[in-house]
């Protein structure tokens, strides 16, 4: 865990205190279940539930000798109890405690992540409604294509995050399982009801079948779900970074009073938040690799997964939580420049309307091949003039492309001046925005 990229609400769920508390909660739930089944005296169970505690320093001292963290934990807890300690960890194996406790930690942490996703979706929706009809140029291959709206860009973002929300909610069901099935998962030393009662107490469901561990495909599902979502968040961040480029300058991260962009160049306003998000997304994706490799354990279990999970589980949750809050801050406070969007939309002298003209010609009986030739021929003239530094509009404010089309005799045989001018109407490109929004923001 790196404090710089941690939020206390999430980080607190993965401290040593939180880990051992989760272990204790599982152990107490098992004691309650044994008492419910009549295996251990209710009075002893009550004493354990009321008095069992642990001391992290003491656990460390014991582990230095035992070299087994779960035994160090149970020994520490037993020191806080009397004769009733004989029932603590009764009929269980280490992973019954550890894996079930981790399921509780993952459940609590994923609830936060899901809350974060809903938060960022709400911010996206708010900005999308704000800029539903804010015109900008759409780009493919980084090159100007046709007019779109900034709201449509954000609608795509919202729709993508909705898929991640659904995926995470499904993943919640996959990871929220516990086990109290014994050393090889055969329930030789405990009935199935013990596991069922324990899991019910902890808000989990029993794994239908387990060996000595909860199967790691469940963990891998979680890691890949967060990795995939991180890729989407990075997509948003990269988009913002492009918009903030000086040559584009359609949006930028909020620049606070007193903020500095460069130690050498006082004028700089850099997209540091979204660049940071790009880096964090790389780390979150990296955690998916050990999670998937942990699926292939030897036979009923080995412990090759243990060391990696001490890294990736807390770090993936903590980093994902931080990243989502940072991206939400970027979106909620993003400074948008509609005038610059319109300036860029007009940058190519009307070329963004080329397909509109292309589609009108076949309606007048012109073959697609001839239509494409006519439209492209005039478009190439504009590109050549742009390369020469010529203004993209004439003295009357008419676009270069419109002028070339109006002067093309072959084109004028099929389209009137009025028909050509109508092709340069921005409303044509926004006529279905409301309907798209209705589909996305149901």
Enumerate the active-site residues: 141, 262
Q: Which of 80, 62, 81 is nearest to 72 (CA)?
A: 62
C-alpha–C-alpha distance, residues 118 and 165, integer Å: 8
Beta bridge partners of residue 139, listed in sequence order: 144
C-alpha–C-alpha distance, residues 348 and 388, integer Å: 13
Beta bridge partners of residue 178, listed in sequence order: 206
**371 Cβ neighbours under 8 A, 6+ residues apart:** 358, 361, 362
C-alpha–C-alpha distance, residues 407 and 409, integer Å: 6
Question: Which parts of 47-121 are beta strand (E)?
Answer: none
Beta bridge partners of residue 205, listed in sequence order: 177
- Which residue's entry shows tokens 């492309």? 401
CB neighbours (10 Å) of residue 227?
A: 21
Contact (CB, 8 A) for 109 and 404: no
Beta bridge partners of residue 149, listed in sequence order: 135
C-alpha–C-alpha distance, residues 64 and 46, integer Å: 31
DSSP 11-31: HGGGSHHHHHHHHHHHHHHHH
Instruction: Give the DSSP letter of residue 372.
Output: H
C-alpha–C-alpha distance, residues 275 and 326, integer Å: 11
Contact (CB, 8 A) for 234 and 274: no
């Amino acid at each position: 865990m790196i404090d710089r990229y941690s939020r206390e609400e999430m980080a607190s769920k993965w401290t040593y205190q939180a880990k051992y508390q989760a272990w204790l909660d599982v152990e107490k739930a098992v004691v309650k279940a044994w008492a419910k089944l009549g295996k251990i005296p209710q009075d002893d169970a009550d004493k354990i539930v009321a008095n069992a505690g642990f001391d992290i320093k003491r656990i460390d001292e014991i582990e230095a000798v035992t070299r087994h963290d779960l035994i160090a934990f149970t020994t520490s807890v037993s020191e806080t109890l009397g004769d009733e300690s004989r029932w603590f960890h009764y009929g269980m194996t280490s992973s019954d405690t550890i894996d079930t406790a981790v399921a509780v930690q993952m459940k609590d942490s994923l609830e936060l992540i899901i809350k974060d996703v809903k938060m960022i979706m709400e911010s996206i929706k708010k900005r999308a409604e704000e800029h539903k009809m804010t015109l900008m140029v759409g780009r493919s291959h980084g090159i100007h294509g046709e007019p779109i709206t900034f709201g449509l860009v954000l609608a795509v973002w919202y729709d993508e995050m909705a898929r991640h929300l659904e995926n995470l909610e499904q993943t919640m069901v996959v990871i929220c399982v516990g086990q109290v099935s014994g050393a090889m998962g055969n329930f030789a030393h405990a009935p199935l009801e013990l596991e069922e009662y324990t899991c019910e107490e902890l808000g989990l469901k029993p794994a239908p079948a387990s060996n000595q561990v909860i199967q790691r495909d469940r963990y891998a599902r979680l890691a890949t779900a967060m990795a995939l979502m991180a890729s989407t968040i990075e997509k948003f961040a990269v988009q913002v970074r492009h918009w903030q480029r000086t040559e584009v300058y359609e949006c930028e991260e909020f620049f606070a009073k007193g903020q500095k962009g460069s130690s050498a160049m006082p004028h700089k306003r850099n997209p540091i938040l979204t660049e940071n998000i790009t880096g964090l997304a790389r780390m979150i994706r990296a955690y998916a690799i050990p999670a998937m490799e942990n699926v292939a354990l030897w036979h009923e279990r080995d412990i090759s997964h243990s060391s990696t999970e001490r890294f990736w589980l807390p770090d993936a949750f903590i980093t994902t939580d931080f990243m989502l809050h940072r991206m939400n801050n970027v979106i909620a406070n993003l400074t948008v420049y509609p005038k610059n969007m319109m300036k860029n939309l007009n940058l190519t002298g009307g070329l963004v309307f080329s397909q509109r003209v292309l589609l009108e010609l076949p309606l007048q009986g012109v073959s697609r091949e001839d239509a494409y030739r006519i439209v492209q021929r005039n478009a190439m003239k504009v590109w050549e003039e742009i390369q020469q530094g010529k203004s993209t509009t004439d003295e009357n404010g008419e676009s270069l492309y419109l002028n070339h089309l109006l002067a093309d005799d072959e084109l004028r045989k099929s389209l009137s001046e009025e028909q050509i001018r109508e092709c340069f109407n921005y409303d044509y490109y926004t006529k279905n925005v409301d309907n798209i929004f209705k589909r996305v923001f149901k």
